[in-house]
Amino acid sequence: MSTDNFGDKLKTLLQARAISIRKCSEQTGIDKGTISRIINGKRKANIQHLKKFASCLDIPLIELLHAAGYSIHADEARGISDMHTSMEEIQQILKASNLYHNHLSTTAIEQ
């Protein structure tokens, strides 16, 4: 599936589960406008978006990765998931210490 069709897949998955964009936004923490732009093909979903969508829709992350055009094997997807879990834990610690600046990213972690 090409990335152009990811928005259609996301829309179909949301409709099949009777989840509105607003409800999806509440459950994922992703802005409603961002979800709308992803559905309309005006923005590409990043890995963090896909992880949150997978959780909200209760489907495997790997399915959304492939649908969004990421060619990742199952064991690589598990590593991505583990890395994002670690990032979330780091963010929580930094927030609790008042050291969080909202700029923590995978790139920053890798550096």
Span 47-100, pLDDT tens digits: 899 999 999 998 888 888 888 987 765 555 555 555 565 666 666 666 666 655
Question: In the chain, how many domains are there?
Answer: 2
| One domain, residues 25 and 58 | yes
Q: Supply the CATH number for residue 62's domain.
A: 1.10.260.40
Q: What pLDDT score does 70 carry? A: 79
| One domain, residues 33 and 83 | no
User: Domain span at residue 35?
Assistant: 3-67
Q: What pLDDT score does 109 carry? A: 56
| One domain, residues 56 and 13 | yes
The Cα 9–Cα 98 span in angstroms is: 39
Q: What pLDDT score does 89 carry? A: 66
Q: What pLDDT score does 76 carry? A: 55
The Cα 32–Cα 61 span in angstroms is: 21
| One domain, residues 52 and 81 | no
| One domain, residues 14 and 51 | yes
The Cα 101–Cα 33 span in angstroms is: 23
**CA-closest candidate to residue 58, choices 11, 14, 3:** 14
